[in-house]
Amino acid sequence: MTFLRHAPRHVHQTVADYATAQLTALGWLTAGSVPFGLDPVTIIDVRPFVGSKLDNHIVPGVVTVTLGNEAAPIDEELGGPLASQDYPMFVDVFMELDSAALALAADLKDAFLGRHATSKRFIPVIDQATETPVPGWQIEFDDVEREAPEHPFALAWHSVHVTAHCYFQEVRY
């Protein structure tokens, strides 16, 4: 059994790294291979809130990966150590054209659903200090949805909501 201190941070970065890898494989991050002849996109690991100092980072071609408030862990086995915990993730796509934002968000949705040749529904949680998988920790991507939220921005915004459903061996002392 492995206790993972600061688990939300490791889960968040694991999902951000997964999204980056998928967008790289699909050509969104490499000049000359971006679908529709667009410029490469940039990924940041948190969505700046309107009115914050980081608000100027919301520009066309930015993808943000933000961790929501995780749920309490629940026991998966009666008397056993298997537990799970849900981590809501929000992957926001900001583009100049709505059609480009929709295409990128659809690619991300399909990546979380395991529909691309390089994508998976289950991935290991990566320890960000050692860059190795955490023994016994697994993420299942669940409840994947895409939407175009109401927003105050002068650009196209689509959002992919995904639950990183983590399974792990609960450590109790």
Could you report the per-residue pLDDT of 126-158, keeping only the tens digit for each? 999 999 999 999 999 999 999 988 776 678 999
pLDDT of residue 170: 80
- Give the separation between CA 91 and CA 81, rounded to whole angstroms: 31
Mean pLDDT along residues 154-172: 89
User: Is 131 among the domain residues?
Assistant: yes
Domain with 37 in it: 7-48+60-169
In this predicted structure, what is the pLDDT of residue 58? 77
Q: Measured between alpha carbons, how far is 118 from 42 in angstroms, rounded to an integer?
A: 20
Sequence-distant (6+) residues with CB within 8 A of 80 are: none
Instruction: State the pLDDT confidence band at 17, using cuts at 50, 70 and 90.
Output: very high
34 located within any domain: yes
- Is 70 a member of any domain? yes
Residue 52: its H or E element: none
Residue 51 CB contacts under 8 Å (≥ 6 apart), including other chains? none
Is residue 134 situated within a structural domain? yes
Number of domains making up the chain: 1
Residue 54 lies in a domain: no
**Is residue 1's pLDDT more than 70?**
no
pTM: 0.90
Tens digit of each residue's pLDDT (9 = 90 or more) over 63-117: 999 999 999 988 887 767 889 999 999 999 999 999 999 999 999 999 999 999 9
Query: What integer pLDDT is reported at residue 81 of this predicted model?
Result: 84
User: Which position has the higher pLDDT, 45 or 17?
Assistant: 17
Q: Examine residue 106 and state whether it is found in any structural domain, yes or no.
A: yes
In a domain, 55, yes or no: no
Is residue 1 situated within a structural domain?
no
Q: What CATH number corresponds to the domain at position 100?
A: 3.30.2000.10
